[in-house]
Amino acid sequence: MTPTTSSADRSERSGTTRIELLPVLGRRLLHVVRVETITPAYRRIVFTAANLGTEFPFRDFAPTDHVKLFFPDPRTGELVLPVVTDRGWEYPDGSGAPIFRDYTVRAVDPLRSELMIDFVLHDHGTAGRWASRARPGDVLGQLGPRGHVLHPLDYPRYVVAGDETALPAVARFIEEAPAGSHMTAVIEVADAAEEQPLDAADGLDLDLRWVHRDTAPISPAHSSALETALRTVDISPDEYIFVFVAGEATALTPIRRYLRRELGLPKEQVDVDGYWKRGVSNLDHHSEDSTGG
């Protein structure tokens, strides 16, 4: 469900990305109501919770907003959801360390009190294994979002790119883009079977480019197929343009350097976010350092 944006909100969101912290960190138990297969390796899980429709904060063109999802211990089935206090997170006596991951908010339907989260399916992590087996009635814990990342709405052109972990955010960029703007979207997935339908916002001029990681050419000088493909996008350092790229943190380091140093784009026009890092659980992607300098 695509939210609407008031003219006042648009006038306040120009030039730079703005962080809007929320006074209360939402805490709730999420109940699975249905599971949708998007591609062979991509699954959308729809949750509901008490008062979710009226109390869950959701803003237009804040595609990177995310929540922390808490998973049951795969050995014991215990679900530990911390209590948020002035001293930080607190846990019930005797409980084990919680298992949690950050996930992008794909969509919220306030009328049906539903929250949609997209999962990449894989067997080497708790979240992916849980998502592959999820059924209606299953329960997760949720904290957040702790705030909104409000991207500017006044750019005539946007370039957004990422791997499948960034696809929910990229999809929201495409769905919620300002009318009359131009957008180039570069999305790296394993192969053609992993492409999924994306609905462009009304009035958006979209150039959508899928990159198949298993077969796409990679320059010897580049870190990934995503970097090779992104470098084919015509970007002028003098252009008033906003660029967002997300994915594996190590692979994004040269991309960030390309945008900021080689092209010379101003800092406020570039957002490069390491969503995950090989061998690291719960990467802190709030830090700019997570993508390298």
Whether 28 contacts 52, CB under 8 Å? yes
pLDDT reported for residue 37:
97
pTM (two decimals): 0.90
pLDDT reported for residue 10:
58
Longest CA pairwise span in the chain (Å): 58
- Spans of the chain, pLDDT less than 50: 1-8, 284, 286-293
pLDDT digits (tens, 9 = 90+) for 251-269: 999 999 999 999 999 999 9
Protein fold of 151-276: Rossmann fold (3.40.50)
Cβ atoms within 10 A of the Cβ of 25, count?
Answer: 15
Domain boundaries, the chain: 18-148, 151-276
Cβ atoms within 10 A of the Cβ of 133, count?
Answer: 10
pLDDT reported for residue 2:
45
- Cα(178)–Cα(195) distance, integer angstroms: 24
pLDDT reported for residue 8:
44
Q: Is the bond preceding 197 in cis, omega lying within 30 degrees of 0?
A: no
- Cα(262)–Cα(75) distance, integer angstroms: 49
Do 18-148 and 151-276 come out as alike in CATH topology?
Answer: no
- Cα(283)–Cα(281) distance, integer angstroms: 6
pLDDT reported for residue 148:
96
Concatenate the DSSP letters of all residues of 108-166 into one string.
Answer: EETTTTEEEEEEE--SSSHHHHHHHH--TT-EEEEE---EEEE--S--SEEEEEE-GGG
* CA 227 to the chain's CA centroid: 19
Strand extents, DSSP E, the chain: 18-21, 27-39, 42-48, 66-71, 83-85, 88-90, 99-104, 107-109, 114-120, 139-143, 147-150, 157-162, 182-189, 205-212, 241-248, 270-276
pLDDT reported for residue 4:
44
pLDDT digits (tens, 9 = 90+) for 233-249: 999 989 999 999 999 99
pLDDT reported for residue 6:
42
Nearest Cα to Cα of residue 23 among 72, 84, 106: 84
Protein fold of 18-148: Elongation Factor Tu (Ef-tu); domain 3 (2.40.30)
pLDDT reported for residue 286:
46
Burial of 239 (0-12, 13-18, 19+ CB in 10 A): middle
